[in-house]
Structure 1
Amino acid sequence: MLLFSASLSPLDDRYWLRCAVLPTSEPTLPLAYEPYLYLRPAYLALHPAPGEVVFFYLEDHQQGQTVGHWPLVIAAQHAHSSWQAPFGGVQIAPSVPATTVRAFVTAAHQALAAAGVGEVHLRAYPTSYDEAASALLLPVFEELSYRTTLTETNYTLPLAHSFEDGLHPSARRRLRKCHQHGLRVEQETPLFLPLAYEFMQQCRQEKGLPPVWPLEQLQAQFRAFPNDQFLFSVRDATGTWAALTVLIRLNDEVLYCIHPASSLQWNTFSPVILLMQGLHAFGQASGYRLLDLGTATFPTGPSESLLTFRRHLGGVSGPRLTLEWQSGEQVRR
C-alpha cells in the first residue's frame, strides 16, 4: 500500500484522504474525537500482524483536525478490520457531512482495490456506540457491494439510567441476596491478574465456555494501556472471590466488560449481577455513556442463556455487523 495524501474533491480542498502505514501511522492533524482503543495505532502495534497495518485518515484542513479514520491489516490481498480485537471499522466525527463520509469511504476502498486487495473483512463496532455514524456508513458500504455476512445481537447498559430500575424481578432478588450475605465489589490491583486469569479460566471450564484471551496478551494490554484496563471483583465476607471481570475503557464514552466469571457454587446468588452494579456505578460516576456487555456469540452460535441474562440485567439490544467484500462481487450482482 503506497503512502499518499489527496483531496477528496477537485472543487474543495477542505477534506483530504491520507494513507499511513505502521510504524508511522499516527494522525498528522489532531483527532476531533478519542478513538476506540481497538482502532488506535498503539493497539495494533501491540499485536504483530502478518502484513501491513494501514490507516486511512480523513483530514479537515479548514478546522486543522483529523475527523475520521479506518485501520486495516492487509496480507496476501486480504484486508481485515479488526485484527486480534473484538471489532474494527470506521470512526467518524459527528460534524462530518454525509457526502464527505461517502467520499472518504469510497476513496479508501478504491485505494485498497488499486493496491490489489481482493477481499475485505470488516467487523464493525456495535451500532449503539454511534448510531448516527452507523446509519451513514452502512449504505455507503452497501453501495460499494459489501455484504452483511453476520448480524450479532449486542447488549449495552445506558449509564444515564438507574441500574436497579432496569433489572428483571428475578435479578433484583438475587442482587438483594448478594447484599444480604455481605458480598462486595472491589477494584483489584493488576498484580492479581495471573490469579484472576486462573479463576476466570476455571469458572469458564465449569460452564463449558471457551477460554479467555491468553494471559500474556492480557498482561501486555494492562502494561501498554494502564489507564484503560481495570480488574473488578466480587468478594464474600471472608475475602474470597465470587466473581471477576476485566473492564476496558474504549474511549471517553464507552466501557467494555469482557470475560465476567463466577463459580458454579455461587449460582444461586448470581454475583455477576452485583459485579455489573459496581461497574455501572463506576461508569456513571466517571461520566461514561455506555457499558458494553458483549454479544455472547461463540463458534457454535449465540448463547441464548447469556443473552437472556443480559436482558435481565436491563441490557438494551442492538446489532453488531460483519461486512465482507470480494473483488468482482458487483459484477456478479
Structure 2
Amino acid sequence: MLPTSTPLFSSDDRYRVRCAVPPATDATLPLAYEPYLYLRPAYVALQHAPGETLFFYLEDHQQGQTVGQWPLTVVEHQAYSPWQAPFGGMQVAPGVLVATMRAFATAVHQTLVTNGVARVHLRAYPTSYDEAASNVLLPVFEELGYRITLTETSYTLPLAQSFEGGLHPSARRRLRKCHRHGLRVEQETPLFLPLAYAFMQQCRQEKNQRMSLSLERLQALFRAFPNDYFLFSVRDAAGVWAAMTVLTRVSDEVLHCIPPASPLSWNTFSPAILLTQGLHAFGQASGYRLLDLGTSTLPDGPSESLHTFKRRLGGVASSRLTLEWRDSEMAK
C-alpha cells in the first residue's frame, strides 16, 4: 500500500507529500496555484488508462495550502505522466524553494520505485509556461537519473504584443488578402462539433495527415470542460468554412490550440493566419498571457512546414522535453 501522507523532511513537518488514488484524487488543502488543465484529476480520469492513477500533492502545512502536484498513471510497472494528454509532469506554485522541489521530486520517485515501478515516462509542459520552474526541475530530474529522450520545439504567441507586428511580411500580406475578401473569424457552438470534426478530418486527409483525437474523445472533453474548450472557425462571405481549430484553456494564463485545419483550395489565402489573429484577439481581450501554438510534431512525425508557419506567425520557440527513467537492472 502507498502511504497516504508523509513528511517531506525528517527535521521539519511543514511540508508533507500526500498520495491520493481514485476516487479521492482531489487535493486535501486549498491549492496555492491554478493547476494546468491536463494535470487536473477530472481530466486525467478521462484518459481511461488500463492501470492505477496516482496523484502526488506537496502540502505546506504552515500556510495551509497545496503547493505542488504530480499525477502519474502506473501500467505494468511503468509510470506515465501523462498517459494521454499534450503534457503531464510536475507543477509547483510560485515561490517554492529549489530544495523543496528537489525533495518533492525525490520523494515521489522513491515511492514509485519502492512500489515496483521500473520505468517512468515524463512529458513536461513547454518551458515558456513557467521558465523559472522548468530551469529548476530539469537538473533535479537529471540528478535522479532521468534522461531526455525527445526535445520538441513549441511555439507561443505573447498576447501582450501586437499580432500583426510579429508577422512575417508574407503572412501579413495573406492576412490582409483574407480581410479584403470578406473572410471572418467565428466562435462556433459545440453543437457543430461532429460537422467540424468531419471538416478537420477531411482537411488533414488532403495533406496525408490524421487527427490526433477521435471525435468521441473530443466530444467527451467538450462535455466535461465546457468552460475550457472552444471551437473557432473562419468563414467566407457566403458562410462556408475555410479553416477550423479547437482552442483549450490550459490555465488562467495560457490558451492552447491544435494546428488549424484548412482545405488545400484555400492555400493562396492561408485562412489559418486570420484564424490565429482571432484567437490572439480572444486571448488578449480575456487577459491571457500566452497562446500556445503547440509543437510542429504531427502524429506521423515532425513537420517542417508547420515550423515555418508558426515562425512566420511570430511564434516564440521554447522547448518541450520528454524524459525517461529506467531501473538500472532493466536497462541491462
Give TM-score, length-normalised by structure 2: 0.98
For 2:114 and 2:93, locate their aligned partners in 1 and report how far apart those are by CA, in whole Å.
Answer: 27
Identify the residue that residue 304 of structure 1 maps to in structure 2. 304
For 1:262 and 1:298, locate their aligned partners in 2 and report how far apart those are by CA, in whole Å.
Answer: 15
Moved over 2 A (4+): 298-301, 329-332
> Structure 1 residues 14, 331: closer, same or farther in 2, change over 3 A?
farther
The secondary structure found in structure 2 opposite 1:50 is coil
Identify the residue that residue 7 of structure 2 maps to in structure 1. 7
Q: Could you tell me how far 1:211 is from its partner in structure 2?
A: 2.1
C-alpha distance after superposition, 1:237-261 (max 9, x if no partner): 0000000100000110110001410
Identify the residue that residue 228 of structure 2 maps to in structure 1. 228
Q: Tell me, which stretches of 5 or more residues in structure 2 are unaligned? A: none
The residue correspondences of 1:65-214 to structure 2 (distance < 5 A) are: 65-214=65-214
C-alpha distance after superposition, 1:123-154 (max 9, x if no partner): 11111111011011001100000000000011
For 2:305 and 2:233, locate their aligned partners in 1 and report how far apart those are by CA, in whole Å.
Answer: 22
For 2:255 and 2:329, locate their aligned partners in 1 and report how far apart those are by CA, in whole Å.
Answer: 37
Identify the residue that residue 291 of structure 1 maps to in structure 2. 291
The secondary structure found in structure 2 opposite 1:162 is coil
Q: Tell me, which stretches of 5 or more residues in structure 1 are unaligned? A: none
Aligned amino acid, residue 166 of structure 1: G
The residue correspondences of 1:233-244 to structure 2 (distance < 5 A) are: 233-244=233-244
The secondary structure found in structure 2 opposite 1:260 is coil
Number of equivalenced pairs: 332
Aligned amino acid, residue 145 of structure 1: G
Aligned amino acid, residue 163 of structure 1: F
The secondary structure found in structure 2 opposite 1:211 is coil
The residue correspondences of 1:254-293 to structure 2 (distance < 5 A) are: 254-293=254-293
Give TM-score, length-normalised by structure 1: 0.97
> Structure 1 residues 205, 114: closer, same or farther in 2, change over 3 A?
same
Q: Could you tell me how far 1:330 is from its partner in structure 2?
A: 11
Aligned amino acid, residue 98 of structure 1: V
The reply to whether residue 323 of structure 1 matches residue 315 of structure 2 is no
Q: Could you tell me how far 1:9 is from its partner in structure 2?
A: 1.1
C-alpha distance after superposition, 1:211-267 (max 9, x if no partner): 241000000000000000000000000000000100000110110001410111110
Aligned residues: percent identity?
Answer: 73
Q: Could you tell me how far 1:88 is from its partner in structure 2?
A: 0.4
Q: Could you tell me how far 1:45 is from its partner in structure 2?
A: 1.1
CA RMSD after TM alignment: 1.3
Q: Could you tell me how far 1:2 is from its partner in structure 2?
A: 1.4
1:3·1:21 contact (CA, 8 Å) conserved in 2? Answer: no
2:39·2:88 contact (CA, 8 Å) conserved in 1? Answer: yes
For 2:260 and 2:299, locate their aligned partners in 1 and report how far apart those are by CA, in whole Å.
Answer: 18
Aligned amino acid, residue 258 of structure 1: I
For 1:299 and 1:279, locate their aligned partners in 2 and report how far apart those are by CA, in whole Å.
Answer: 23
C-alpha distance after superposition, 1:90-142 (max 9, x if no partner): 00001100100000000100000000000000011111111011011001100
The secondary structure found in structure 2 opposite 1:262 is coil
2:259·2:294 contact (CA, 8 Å) conserved in 1? Answer: no
